[in-house]
Amino acid sequence: MSDESSVHVVMFPSAGMGHLTPFLRLASLLVNSNHCKLTLITPLPTVSHAESHLLSHFHSSFPQLNLLPFHLPPPHSPPISVDPFFHRVQTLRHSSHLLPPLISSLSPPVSIFISDIFLLTPLVSITQKLSLPNYTLFTSSAAMFSFFSHFPTLALAQSKPDADTQISFPVPGLPFSPLPFSSIPPILFQNTIFRNLLMEDSPNLTKLQGVFLNTFESLESHSLKALNDGQVLKNMPPVYAVGPFIPFEFEKKNTSTTSLISWLDDQPIGSVVYVCFGSRTALKREQMREIGNGLMRSGYKFVWVVKDKIIDKEEQEVGLDEVLGVELVEGMKEKGLVIKEWVDQSEILSHKSVGGFVSHCGWNSIMEAGLNGVPILAWPQHGDQKINAGLVEISEWGIWNKSWGWSGEHVVKGDEIGDAIKQIMKNQVLKDKAMKVKEGAMKATSNGGDCEVTIQKLIQKWKNNVNNV
């Protein structure tokens, strides 16, 4: 395809591995289609080393794409938010006026713009002025997107309920509506950046040409139908299910996982529980020690990824002995592996010895578990995770103890954790349901499956638009 007739897609991610990883997986699908020229705008500096490494490996794997650095102005002082990721999102939103000259300088002319959902409002105004079709990637479930789209209506109709209330809210598009108050992130009933972002961005969804979701029909047919039928939001643009995104080779780091995989190879099929709370959840040490006690009580072998700080740039590393205590660390050595560094999660979840996953229910983690048919013990910590946990629960491939609450509300004791681990590891119904989810995921990502067909139809549409200009 010549440059003159190429579909030139520009993509603009925001911050955090939970957003960058699916963004780059979508970019990979477009690059691999061989019908797109792709430019990735990369905000610099990154928030974490993990993001820097991922971007570097991505570019090495796809040298044909254009990496366009976007150097951000010095951050506000004091920071807009104590959360470094939300601080970065706000900086990006406030710096978006610097983008038009960069976009206009690209060759061939840009045909499509795809941005992260957190950047919706400022970029809609820019793409409208540049007459660019604008799509967004929503990095969570279709169920959560239904909530996101409906939130301003809910917020305007409800003042903050009492924290102990048992009331719930009808949310069109949720397969488990009405939504309990306890599943709504508390920050949405406070004057916070996250609430203000939802209130500002949700009404602008109708100005988009489309929304990409990392999900698939057999898992979220209810939500996808409601979204595309206009039941959630009138004049909703088309919502495209293009998942589950399959991990790519570029995501593998130089960190050797040989010893970890070798250890897993020695374990019986389905005998290991994997424990990980994502790239942003740093649990308190007291809770981490209870998790360690719970793993020991369960009697199962385990791989546990420990994280005790939000970002990996500033603070000096603290050893496991200090985080968990020497006695617990020594006691766990014969039962499993405790890791305080990056791991290839998809490689772990795809291993035959892994039979259960204790997860915070970040959407990337859920999709990776679904791709591999692994039952989930849902332990949501913040944000979209209770809504995602509700989807796992209603799909019957995992369990969720709602009394455990949000992260930090109270310390969940080791005996409860151990009993819950036993339940997911022994329950054959969960295993069977998880395999059904895997079958649906594999069908969606197969040659000629929904994901490939949707991407190819969109690219053909974009190509027609380019040729008709």
Residue 229 appears among annotated catalytic residues: no
pLDDT 10s digits, 30-75: 988 767 899 999 999 888 888 888 898 898 888 888 999 999 887 6
- HSE-CB at 237 with a 13 A cutoff on CA atoms is 19
- 113 plus 160 within the same structural domain: yes
CB 316 within 8 A of CB 437: no
CA distance 171 to 261: 43
Q: Which two tokens stand for residue 123?
A: 């970029």
CA distance 441 to 435: 10
- Containing domain of residue 161, as a range? 3-248+446-468
CA distance 112 to 131: 10
Q: Which stretches of 105-214 are assigned E, i.e. beta strand?
A: 112-116, 134-138, 168-169, 179-180, 210-213
Helix (H) or strand (E) holding 450: helix 450-468
C-beta neighbour count of 14 within 10 angstroms: 23
Look-up of token digits 């915070």: 360
Contacts of 130 (CB under 8 A, 6+ apart): 100, 103, 104, 110
The reported pLDDT for the residue numbered 89 is 87
- 124 plus 140 within the same structural domain: yes
- 384 plus 432 within the same structural domain: yes
- 182 plus 286 within the same structural domain: no
Q: Which stretches of 344-392 are assigned E, i.e. beta strand?
A: 354-359, 376-378
- 199 plus 235 within the same structural domain: yes
The reported pLDDT for the residue numbered 216 is 97
Helical pair 285-298 and 414-426, crossing angle rounded to 10 deg = 50
CA distance 402 to 183: 9
The reported pLDDT for the residue numbered 159 is 58
CB 313 within 8 A of CB 49: yes
* pLDDT one digit per residue (tens) for the chain, 469 residues: 445 457 999 999 988 888 999 999 999 999 887 678 999 999 998 888 888 888 988 988 888 889 999 998 876 666 656 677 888 888 899 899 999 999 999 999 999 999 999 999 999 999 999 999 999 999 999 999 999 999 998 887 765 555 555 688 899 999 998 999 899 988 888 777 788 889 999 999 999 999 999 999 999 999 999 999 999 999 999 999 999 999 887 776 545 577 899 999 999 999 999 999 986 667 888 999 999 999 999 999 999 999 766 555 544 567 888 888 888 989 899 899 999 887 889 999 999 999 999 999 999 999 999 999 999 999 999 989 999 999 999 999 999 999 999 988 899 999 999 999 999 999 999 999 999 999 999 999 999 999 999 999 999 999 888 877 6
- 191 plus 261 within the same structural domain: no
Catalytic residue among 19, 57, 351, 360: 19
CA distance 171 to 190: 20
CA distance 450 to 429: 27
- 155 plus 291 within the same structural domain: no
CA distance 400 to 199: 29
Residue 49 appears among annotated catalytic residues: no
Give the dihedral sign, CA 214/219/225/231: negative
**CA distances from residue 416 to 19, 404, 407, 422 in whole angstroms, order as listed:** 32, 10, 16, 10
25 CA to centre of own chain: 11
Contacts of 108 (CB under 8 A, 6+ apart): 3, 4, 6, 8, 37
Q: What are the phi and psi torsion angles at 373 (to 5°)?
A: 65, 40
- 237 plus 374 within the same structural domain: no
How many domains, the chain? 2
CB 338 within 8 A of CB 329: yes
pTM for this structure?
0.92
389 CA to centre of own chain: 13
**CA distances from residue 386 to 151, 246, 402 in whole angstroms, order as listed:** 15, 24, 9
- 396 plus 264 within the same structural domain: yes
Q: Which two tokens stand for residue 419?
A: 């009993």
Look-up of token digits 């794409």: 65
- Helices (DSSP H) in 311-361: which residue ranges? 320-324, 326-332, 345-349
Look-up of token digits 């259960």: 356
Catalytic residue among 57, 83, 87, 116: 116
Q: Furthest-apart CA pair in the chain: how many Å?
A: 70
- 344 plus 435 within the same structural domain: yes
Helix (H) or strand (E) holding 352: none
Q: Which stretches of 331-410 are assigned E, i.e. beta strand?
A: 336-339, 354-359, 376-378, 398-400
C-beta neighbour count of 313 within 10 angstroms: 15
The reported pLDDT for the residue numbered 165 is 56
Q: CATH number for the domain including 292?
A: 3.40.50.2000
- 188 plus 301 within the same structural domain: no
Helix (H, G, I), strand (E, B) or coil at 112: strand
- 294 plus 243 within the same structural domain: no
The reported pLDDT for the residue numbered 2 is 46
| Burial category of 282 from C-beta neighbours within 10 Å (exposed 0-12, middle 13-18, buried 19 and up) | middle
